[in-house]
Amino acid sequence: MKTARRVKRPTLKQLAEAAGVSIGTASNILNNKSGLHSPETVERVLTAAHRLGYRPNRVARSLAARRTHTIGIVMEPQHAIFTRNHYATAVLDGVVEALAPRNYHLKIITLNDLDPRTLWTQLDDGTVDGLLLIVPLMGSPLLEYHQHTHLPCVVVGSTLPKSLGFYCVDSANEPMMRLLVNWLLEQGHRRIGFIKGPDNQWSAHQRLKAYIETMADWGIEAPPDWIAPSNYEYSGGFAEATQLLQVRPRLTAIVGSNDLLALGALDACAQHGVRVPRDVSVVGFDDIPMAALAKPPLTTIRNPIHDIGYAAADALLQQIETGAPLQGNCLMEGELIVRESAAPPQSRKA
Amino acid sequence: MKTARRVKRPTLKQLAEAAGVSIGTASNILNNKSGLHSPETVERVLTAAHRLGYRPNRVARSLAARRTHTIGIVMEPQHAIFTRNHYATAVLDGVVEALAPRNYHLKIITLNDLDPRTLWTQLDDGTVDGLLLIVPLMGSPLLEYHQHTHLPCVVVGSTLPKSLGFYCVDSANEPMMRLLVNWLLEQGHRRIGFIKGPDNQWSAHQRLKAYIETMADWGIEAPPDWIAPSNYEYSGGFAEATQLLQVRPRLTAIVGSNDLLALGALDACAQHGVRVPRDVSVVGFDDIPMAALAKPPLTTIRNPIHDIGYAAADALLQQIETGAPLQGNCLMEGELIVRESAAPPQSRKA
DNA sequence: ATGAAAGCGCTAACAT
DNA sequence: ATGTTAGCGCTTTCAT
C-alpha cells in the first residue's frame, strides 16, 4: 500500500527534469508545437508527464501567454437570476455549446451593483479575454464600456444604437413582430391589443414599433387603450390583459410581447370566463418551453435564443482571435409557431 | 482633446513608481493590509492608482498567492443544458447569490465527456480553489474524485454513500417523499401509483424507497404495476401515466417523483378524459415554477433547490478557507404545497 | 513603516 | 531539434 503523499503538483520544471529535457522543450511538446521535435523526445516527455501525473497550471500559462482562454458573461444585476430569466438561461446554453469544443472556459460575472467606481475593475481584471453583455438596459453604465476598457465585447439580446459602437447579436425583433401581427391581421383580426415590455429594454420598443407600423400598414391606428405598458412578466400579462379585456368594443386578439406576458393573459382570460381562442386570441413571442404546455397551447414566434447565444460566443471568439473588431450586427429571425391560442375572430351575436 | 492611447494597462510596478513607493508597499496598501502604513503613503498610493486607472491583474495575483478566489461548477455532460435542467439552474442561482457578497468568482465547467484521461486535467487546472459537483450520477467517473485530486469539493443534489467520502448538500428526499405519500394516504387514498426517476440517480431510488416504505407503514404492499420506471421528464410522465391509468382496479392517485413527471401525467389524464383531481389525484415533487401554472395547479413538495445551491457554495468556501474537510451531509427539507391537483378519492358509482 | 528580492509556473524569443 | 533566459504582474518573506 502506497502512502506517498503528493503534497504539491509537479511543475513543468520537474517534468522537464524527469524527462531529461529542457523546460522549453517540454512546454513546446505539451502544447503540440511538435513536428519540430524528435518522436523519441516527444515520447519521453509524454511518458514522464503521465507517470508524474503532470497537470499544467492554467493560471501560470495565462499570465505568461497573456491569454486566459476564458470569456465572461455579464448580466444586469437585477436580471442575474437564471430561474426567472429564461432568456439568459438559453443564451447561456448557446454560449456553453459554442465554447466547449473550442476549449474556451466560461466565467459568470455577477455584479452586485453597477457602481462605476468598481465596475470596470471587476470586469477588466485580467481573467477574461472578452465579455458577453447580456441584454444591457437603456441607461446602464455598461453602455460606457468602450470608454473604460478595450476588452473584446459582444452584446447579446439588445440591438443598440450604432453610435454606442457595440457589435450586437439579437433577435430580429421588428421583422418577427411584424410577421406575428401580420398573421393576426390576415386571420381577420382588426382590434388587436398589445402588451408592451419594460421601457428600459430596446426590444420592447422595437416590438411595439413593429406592432404599430404593421397595424398602420393595414390602415389601423391603434388607440392608446389598446397598448398596455408592462414588464415582460407573467403577473404583468395577467394584470394588463385584465384591463385590455375591458376595452369596448371588444378586442379580438391580444399580443403579449413575450410569452410570459401572453401566458399571464391566457390565465387572465380563463379567470374572467373569456374563452381562448373563441372569444379572444392570444399570442406570444419567444416560444419558451412553457408555451407549448399552456392551455390552450400558445401560438407564438420562435425566438432563436440558444442560437443567439451560440452566435454571440462565436463572434466574440473570432474577435479575440483575429483582433479585428466586428462590423454591423447579427439579427436572427424565427418562424411563427401556430398552436391553439389564436383563431380567426368569431362574428359576434351582439 | 487627448489622444493618449493607453496601450497597456499600468502594472503595480508602474503604480509604485508613480506613487514613489516600493512595489511591496503598494501591494500591501491595495490589499488593505494597512494600519501598518502611514496615512499619507496610503493616500499617495490610492491617488496614483486612481490617476493611472490602475486595475490589479487577478491572474498574476492568483499565481503569486496560489488562490484564485474562484470556484467551479461541474455537471454531468448530458445535464449541462440549463434550459432543460431546472435543478441545475436553481442551484446556479443559489451559488451565485452565495458567491457575490464574498467576492468569489464562478466558472462553469462544461465537460464534453468524462474521459478519465483528460477529466482531471480539466477539473484541476489551477484556475479554481474548489469544485461543486452537480448531481453526479451512479457510476460516474466524477465519483473517483478523491483518487485524482485534493481540491476542496462539495456534492450537490445527490446524497452519496458515505464510503465515497463526499460532503453532500441535497434535498431530504426520503422524509419529503414520506410526507407527500403520507398526506395522500391521510386524504383517503390507498391505490397510489408512482412514477420513478432514472435508475442512475440516487434521488430516484431514495424517493421510491420512501414511497414503498410509507405505503408499507399503512399495510399496503404496492404491486409492480403501480410503479412505473421513468426519467424525470415531462414525456416520461405522460407515457407512464398513460400506462398507470390502465391499472385495474383503478388507481386513485399518481405520484410523479418530480414535477415534470407529474405535469406529463396531468396532461396524459386530460388527454384520456380523466378528470384531475375528481377521477385521479396527481402530485409532484420540486415545486418548479410551472407547477403553480399547471391546469389544475399542481400539489407538490417544495424542494429548496436555491437554498441547496447557496448552502453548498457556503460549505465549499468554508472548506477552502479553513482547510478543514466537512463532516456529514446537509439535507434540506421542504414543505407540502397543497394546490388543486389532489383531493380525497371519490367513492365511485361502479 | 518601507524597501529589496525571491519566487509563483509557465511561454516565447533567442541562441545554439 | 533543443537549451537558455527573460519576463508575465503580483504576493510575500526578510531586511532595514
pLDDT single digits (tens) A322-341: 999 999 999 999 999 999 99
Residue at A197: amino acid letter: G
**C-alpha span between B308 and A87 (Å, rounded):** 23
Of all nucleotides, the one whose C1′ comes closest to residue A31's CA is: C11
**CATH annotation of A70-171+305-332:** 3.40.50.2300
For residue A29, name the pLDDT band (cuts at 50, 70, 90).
very high
Contact B124 A55 (CB under 8 A): yes
In this predicted structure, what is the pLDDT of residue B34? 66
State the pLDDT at residue B35.
Answer: 72
If pLDDT is split at 50, 70 and 90, which confidence band does B7 have?
Answer: low
Chain A residue with minimal CA distance to B122?
Answer: A55
Please list every residue in chain B whose beta carbon sits closer than 8 Å to the beta carbon of residue A114. Answer: none
Q: What would the pLDDT profile of B77-127 be if each residue is shown by its tens digit?
A: 999 999 999 999 999 999 999 999 999 999 999 999 999 999 999 999 999
State the nearest Cα–Cα gap between A325 and chain B, in angstroms: 16
B304 pLDDT more than 50: yes
- Nucleotide lying nearest to A36, CA to C1' measure: D1
Across the interface, whether the CB atoms of B289 and A106 are under 8 A apart is answered no
- The long-range contacts involving B141-150, CB below 8 angstroms and separated by at least 24 positions, are B141/B114, B141/B116, B142/B74, B142/B76, B142/B114, B144/B116, B148/B119, B148/B120, B148/B124, B149/B120, B149/B123, B149/B124
Report chain A residues whose CB lies below 8 A from the CB of B86.
83
Three-class SS state of B106: strand
If you count DSSP H runs as helices and E runs as strands, how many of each does chain B have, helices first? 13, 12
The nt closest to A65 (CA vs C1′) is C11
Cα–Cα distances (Å) from B107 to A109, A204, B38, B90, B123, in that order, read: 9, 31, 38, 16, 11
Most B CBs within 10 A among A70, A73, A127, A288, hence the mutation to make, goes to A127
Supply the pTM of this predicted model: 0.95
pLDDT at A42 over 70: yes
Q: Is the pLDDT of residue A33 over 80?
A: no
Angstrom distances, CA of residue B75 to CA of B82, B97, B201, B344: 10, 19, 13, 40
User: What CA–CA distance (Å, rounded) separates B327 from B340?
Assistant: 41
Q: What is the pLDDT of residue B14?
A: 93
Q: Please identify which residue in the block is written with the cell numbers 470608454.
A: A147
Q: What is the rounded average pLDDT for all residues in chain A?
A: 94
Q: What is the biggest distance separating any 2 CA atoms in chain A, rounded to whole angstroms? A: 95
Q: For A56-107, what is each residue's pLDDT tens digit?
A: 999 999 999 999 999 999 999 999 999 999 999 999 999 999 999 999 999 9
Q: Are B83 and A63 a contacting pair at CB < 8 A?
A: no
Angstrom distances, CA of residue A4 to CA of A1, A7, A8, A11? 9, 9, 12, 18
CB-proximal positions of chain D, under 7 Å = 1-5, 7-14
Query: What type of residue is B7?
Result: V
Dist. CA A10–CA A325, nearest whole Å: 40
B57 conformational bin, left if phi > 0, alpha if psi -120 to 50, beta if neither: beta
Residue B309 has pLDDT above 50, yes or no: yes
Query: CA at B56, C1' at D1: how many angstroms apart?
Result: 39
Question: Please, are residues B345 and B281 in contact by the beta-carbon 8 Å criterion?
Answer: yes
Average of per-residue pLDDT across B226-247:
98
Spanning CA of B39 to C1' of D11, the rounded length in angstroms is 22
Neighbours of A279 (CB within 10 A): 17
pLDDT tens-digit map of A289-323: 999 999 999 999 999 999 999 999 999 999 999 99
* CATH class of the domain whose range is B1-52: mainly alpha
Residue A124: its chain B contacts at CB < 8 A?
A: 9, 55
User: Minimal Cα distance from B295: which residue of A?
Assistant: A295
Longest dimension (CA), chain B: 95
Contact B126 A90 (CB under 8 A): no
Q: Which residue has the higher pLDDT, B251 or B9?
A: B251
Within 8 A by CB and 6+ apart from A193, the residues are A226, A227, A228, A244, A247, A251, A253, A254, A255
Q: Is the pLDDT of residue B6 over 80?
A: no
Cα distance between residue B299 and residue B338, in whole Å: 5
Distance between CA B157 and CA B331 in Å, rounded? 9
| Interface contact flag, B110 A106, Cβ < 8 Å | yes
The four Cα atoms A17, A9, A109, B47 give a dihedral, to 10 degrees, of: -70
Q: What is the residue-averaged pLDDT of chain B?
A: 94
- Among candidates B68, B93, B263 on the partner chain, residue whose Cβ is nearest the Cβ of A83: B93
Taking domain A173-303, whether its CATH number is 3.40.50.2300 is answered by yes
Q: Closest by alpha carbon to B72, among B118, B117, B105?
A: B105
User: Do the domains at A1-52 and A173-303 have one common CATH topology?
Assistant: no
Cβ-Cβ contacts under 8 Å, A100 against chain B? 110, 112
> Does position A21 have pLDDT exceeding 90, yes or no?
yes
Residue pair A210/A220 in contact (Cβ under 8 Å)? The answer is no
**From the list B120, B125, B295, which residue is nearest A295 (CB)?**
B295
Q: Identify the pLDDT of residue A8.
A: 77
- Segment B287-298 shows an average pLDDT of 97
Decide if A127 and B59 are in contact by the 8 Å CB cutoff: yes
Helices in chain A by DSSP H: which ranges?
12-19, 23-30, 39-52, 58-65, 86-99, 116-123, 145-148, 173-186, 202-217, 234-244, 259-271, 289-293, 305-322
**B161 CB-near residues (< 8 Å, 6+ apart):** none
User: Chain B closest CA to A69's CA: distance in Å?
Assistant: 11
Minimal CA separation from B21 to chain A, in Å: 22
CB B159 within 8 A of CB B101: no
Provide the 3-class DSSP secondary structure of residue A189: coil
Residue B179 scores a pLDDT above 80? yes
Instruction: Compute how many other C-beta atoms are within 10 angstroms of the C-beta atom of residue A218.
Output: 13
What is d(CA A134, CA A70) in angstroms, rounded to the nearest whole number?
17
Distance CA A31, CA B71 (A): 25
Q: Do residues B277 and B340 touch, judged by C-beta distance below 8 A? A: yes
* pLDDT score, position A173: 98
> Is the Cβ pair A63, B60 closer than 8 Å?
yes
Q: Where are the domains of chain A?
A: 1-52, 70-171+305-332, 173-303
Q: How far is A316 from chain B (nearest CA, A)?
A: 18
